[in-house]
């Protein structure tokens, strides 16, 4: 029986491990931390019983993932839950945009921009599954779904500020800009529309669910599939060099490119090492979890029913904040993502005290304290927030990286979404998973299709390894 070692038990490491084990390989996963899951862990940090997600919170891409859908994760304990409203985006003066899973309802809520919203996102949502098969993989391939790709591609290449000119209302413009900000890249740069398009299309196809009982349950379910296939996971095992690994036919590294270069040393071909060292990092997250009595006192009518709230104000403010952080400047009013998972999953709360998840987009490696920036943005749209906070737990960019070494400088998306890195990561290659060392692959979110809890990087990397192994054998 051939064997494989996977370094890192994040969603991509586990997805690679499951894919290899499904093909009959003897697979061992080595995880540095005492718990598996990487960016999907959950914990009770402030009060006993009050459940926070340490990393990923909301999982539209997880639900849509072709690989996760191919597994019976429900039989292994995974349950999705949705709030009434997928996304709210409050504006000054008590107004807000709202996006719900129903396209018809969103169109109704958006009034004057409803028709345009339907024209842009309806066809993408209808063909989302075909589109996902084209974009959740390396960009260099022979496409099989030309129509959805032709609908998505040209618009996706545009800067979000350019495509955003179609909106006539502040609400639709802000919703689109907030979704585009998931690219963590200046909205006036090419390809940032891709995020604005994907996140709305996916809402109208699958909604934006959370995982009942915390995001950790998703990777627990993957681990359960893996161990049922005979796989073995060792936690508390940090790998420092490839030379310390037992002999294996395949080695999968669920690591960021710099760490792969460190572990591989001189074994890595010089051109690959150079590319990994040059890999560009994204801005950082500054994460604060709050315990909030009675929940946030939102001024508008939608935010208190929304699983995710984008807090920054107008589309122009979102663009300015994203521009600043990529220039290394901390904005006075940063883009803040708020998740209220307890609305869909009430068991995360303790009585009337609710876990509120926030992170601000801040410059890469930011060393200041953004807690007050976050509270000020919340106060702006939910006045009275401060008095309701009974506990808080902050993670600086540095603390995020200490918790998970893949999050270099607080970059939670596995590398900057520059147009080149969006199309080809972690280096320009027809097989981006292969490191150039026979049998050794990189499978983290720094490979296609990039960040998010979908397991597709791991699954694709494992398929690449299997193809090469079969060819060699
Ligand atoms: C704060 C935050 C919020 C996010 N929000 C969302 C969200 O709402 N929705 C979404 O879809 N995605 C979200 N993401 C992104 C998502 O979590 C990541 O893209 C995803 O976890 C990447 O998976 P991965 O397997 O590539 O790496 P990771 O999840 O980073 O896992 C890598 C694993 O490797 C281990 N490791 C590292 N070095 C070593 C070593 N030398 N030896 C052994 N083990 C090692 C780490 O401990 C870790 O467990 C968020 C991430 C963060 C941090």
3-state DSSP of 265-279: HHHCCHHHHHHHHHC
Q: Specify whether 12 is located in the same domain as 148.
A: no
> Where do the DSSP E strands lie in 302-388?
306-311, 336-339, 353-362
Q: Specify whether 244 is located in the same domain as 295.
A: no
> Could you tell me if residue 294 is left (phi over 0), alpha (psi between -120 and 50 degrees) or otherwise beta?
left
Please tell me the total count of domains within the chain.
2
Among protein residues, the one with the nearest Cα to ligand 1's atom 32 is 10
**In ligand 1, which atom is closest to the CA atom of 413?**
19
Please count the other Cβ atoms lying within 10 Å of the Cβ belonging to residue 271: 11
Q: Specify whether 327 is located in the same domain as 449.
A: no
Q: d(Cα 44, Cα 348) in Å, to the nearest integer?
A: 9
Looking at every residue in the chain, the average pLDDT score rounds to: 97
Whether residue 217 is predicted with pLDDT greater than 90 in this model: the reply is yes
Asked if the structure places residue 154 within a domain, the reply is yes
Q: Specify whether 324 is located in the same domain as 351.
A: yes
Question: 140 falls in which pLDDT band (50, 70, 90)?
Answer: confident
Q: Which has the closest alpha carbon to 265: 238, 239, 249, 243? A: 243
284 C-alpha vs ligand 1 centroid, how far in Å?
14
Q: Specify whether 355 is located in the same domain as 424.
A: no
Whether residue 223 is predicted with pLDDT greater than 90 in this model: the reply is yes
In terms of pLDDT, which residue wins out, 123 or 143? 123
Asked if the structure places residue 140 within a domain, the reply is yes
Mean predicted confidence (pLDDT) in 279-302: 98
Q: d(Cα 370, Cα 360) in Å, to the nearest integer?
A: 7
Q: Specify whether 304 is located in the same domain as 186.
A: yes
Q: Specify whether 122 is located in the same domain as 197.
A: yes
Whether residue 144 is predicted with pLDDT greater than 90 in this model: the reply is no
Indicate the residue among 352, 372, 401 that finishes a domain.
401
Provide the CATH number for the domain around residue 347: 3.90.660
Which of 37, 42, 43, 56 maximizes ligand 1 atoms within 8 Å of its Cβ, making it the mutation to test the pocket? Answer: 56
Q: Specify whether 198 is located in the same domain as 114.
A: yes
**In ligand 1, which atom is closest to the CA atom of 400?**
53
Asked if the structure places residue 62 within a domain, the reply is no
412 C-alpha vs ligand 1 centroid, how far in Å?
7
Provide the CATH number for the domain around residue 430: 3.50.50.60
Could you tell me if 91 and 174 are in contact, meaning their C-beta atoms sit under 8 angstroms apart? yes
**In ligand 1, which atom is closest to the CA atom of 33?**
47
39 C-alpha vs ligand 1 centroid, how far in Å?
3
pLDDT value for 93: 95
Asked if the structure places residue 155 within a domain, the reply is yes
**In ligand 1, which atom is closest to the CA atom of 37?**
49
Mean predicted confidence (pLDDT) in 55-83: 97
pLDDT digits (tens, 9 = 90+) for 159-174: 999 999 999 999 999 9
Among protein residues, the one with the nearest Cα to ligand 1's atom 14 is 56
Whether residue 142 is predicted with pLDDT greater than 90 in this model: the reply is no
**In ligand 1, which atom is closest to the CA atom of 14?**
25
Asked if the structure places residue 426 within a domain, the reply is yes
Q: Specify whether 135 is located in the same domain as 265.
A: no
Asked if the structure places residue 39 within a domain, the reply is no
Structural domain that includes position 142 = 80-209+283-401
Asked if the structure places residue 252 within a domain, the reply is yes
Q: Specify whether 246 is located in the same domain as 99.
A: no
Q: Which of 141-150, 155-164, 215-224, 287-296 has the lowest mean pLDDT?
A: 141-150
pLDDT value for 472: 81
331 C-alpha vs ligand 1 centroid, how far in Å?
26
pLDDT digits (tens, 9 = 90+) for 97-139: 999 999 999 999 999 999 999 999 999 999 999 999 988 888 8
Q: d(Cα 208, Cα 309) in Å, to the nearest integer?
A: 12
Q: Specify whether 367 is located in the same domain as 446.
A: no
Helix (H, G, I), strand (E, B) or coil at 141: coil
Q: d(Cα 38, Cα 16) in Å, to the nearest integer?
A: 14
Q: d(Cα 426, Cα 432) in Å, to the nearest integer?
A: 7
Indicate the residue among 401, 434, 459 that finishes a domain.
401
Asked if the structure places residue 66 within a domain, the reply is no
405 C-alpha vs ligand 1 centroid, how far in Å?
9
Indicate the residue among 401, 426, 449 that finishes a domain.
401
Query: Would you tell me the crossing angle of helices 170-180 and 315-326 to the nearest 10 degrees?
Result: 20
Q: Specify whether 268 is located in the same domain as 359.
A: no
Query: CA separation (Å) from 315 to 94, 176, 275, 408, 410?
Result: 16, 8, 35, 28, 25
Q: What is the CA radius of gyration of the chain?
A: 21
74 C-alpha vs ligand 1 centroid, how far in Å?
22
Name residues contacting ligand 1 (CB within 6 A): 7-13, 30-33, 38-40, 55-59, 61-62, 238-239, 254-255, 259, 285, 287, 359, 404-407, 412, 414, 444-445, 451-453, 457
pLDDT value for 147: 87
pLDDT value for 398: 98
Which of 39, 252, 285, 340 maximizes ligand 1 atoms within 8 Å of its Cβ, making it the mutation to test the pocket? Answer: 39
pLDDT digits (tens, 9 = 90+) for 373-428: 999 999 999 999 999 999 999 999 999 999 999 999 999 999 999 999 998 999 99
Q: d(Cα 356, Cα 252) in Å, to the nearest integer?
A: 35
Mean predicted confidence (pLDDT) in 214-230: 98
Please count the other Cβ atoms lying within 10 Å of the Cβ belonging to residue 328: 12
pLDDT digits (tens, 9 = 90+) for 423-458: 899 999 999 999 999 999 999 999 999 999 999 999
């Amino acid at each position: 029986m051939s064997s494989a070692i996977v370094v890192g038990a994040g969603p991509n490491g586990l997805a690679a491990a499951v894919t290899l084990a499904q093909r009959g390989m003897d697979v061992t996963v080595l995880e540095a931390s005492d718990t598996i899951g990487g960016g999907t862990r959950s914990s009770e940090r402030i009060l006993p019983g009050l459940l926070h997600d340490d990393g990923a919170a909301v999982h539209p891409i997880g639900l849509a993932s072709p690989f996760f859908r191919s597994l019976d994760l429900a039989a292994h304990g995974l349950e999705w839950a949705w709030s009434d409203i997928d996304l709210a985006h409050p504006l000054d003066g008590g107004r807000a945009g709202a996006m719900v899973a129903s396209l018809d309802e969103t169109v109704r809520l958006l009034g004057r921009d409803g028709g345009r919203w339907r024209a842009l996102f309806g066809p993408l949502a209808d063909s989302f599954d075909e589109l996902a098969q084209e974009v959740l993989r390396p960009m260099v391939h022979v496409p099989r779904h030309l129509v959805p790709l032709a609908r998505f591609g040209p618009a996706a290449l545009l800067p979000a500020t350019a495509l955003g000119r179609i909106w006539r209302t502040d609400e639709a413009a802000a919703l689109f800009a907030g979704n585009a900000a998931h690219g963590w890249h200046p909205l006036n740069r090419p390809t940032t529309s891709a995020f604005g398009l994907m996140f709305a299309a996916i809402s109208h196809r699958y909604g934006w669910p959370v995982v009942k009982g915390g995001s950790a349950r998703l990777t627990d379910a993957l681990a359960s599939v893996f161990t049922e296939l005979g796989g073995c996971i060792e936690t508390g095992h940090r790998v420092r060099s490839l030379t310390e690994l037992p002999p294996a036919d395949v080695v999968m590294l669920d690591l960021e490119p710099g760490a792969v270069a460190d572990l591989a040393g001189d074994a890595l071909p010089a051109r690959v090492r150079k590319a990994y060292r040059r890999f560009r990092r994204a801005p950082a997250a500054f994460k604060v979890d709050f315990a909030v009595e009675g929940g946030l006192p939102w001024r508008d009518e939608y935010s208190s029913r929304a699983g995710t709230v984008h807090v920054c104000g107008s589309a122009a403010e979102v663009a300015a904040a994203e521009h600043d952080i990529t220039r290394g400047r901390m904005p006075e009013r940063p883009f803040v993502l708020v998740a209220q998972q307890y609305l869909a999953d009430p068991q995360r709360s303790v009585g009337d005290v609710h876990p509120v998840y926030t992170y601000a987009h801040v410059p890469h490696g930011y060393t200041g304290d953004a807690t007050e920036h976050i509270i000020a943005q919340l106060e702006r749209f939910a006045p009275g927030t401060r008095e309701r906070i009974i506990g808080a737990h902050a993670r600086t960019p540095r603390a995020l990286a200490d918790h998970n070494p893949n999050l270099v400088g607080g970059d939670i998306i596995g590398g900057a979404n520059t147009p080149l890195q969006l199309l080809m990561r972690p280096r320009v290659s027809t097989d981006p998973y292969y490191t150039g060392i026979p049998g050794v692959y990189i499978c983290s979110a720094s490979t296609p299709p990039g960040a998010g809890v979908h397991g597709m990087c791991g699954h694709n990397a494992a398929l690449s390894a299997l193809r090469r192994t079969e060819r060699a054998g």
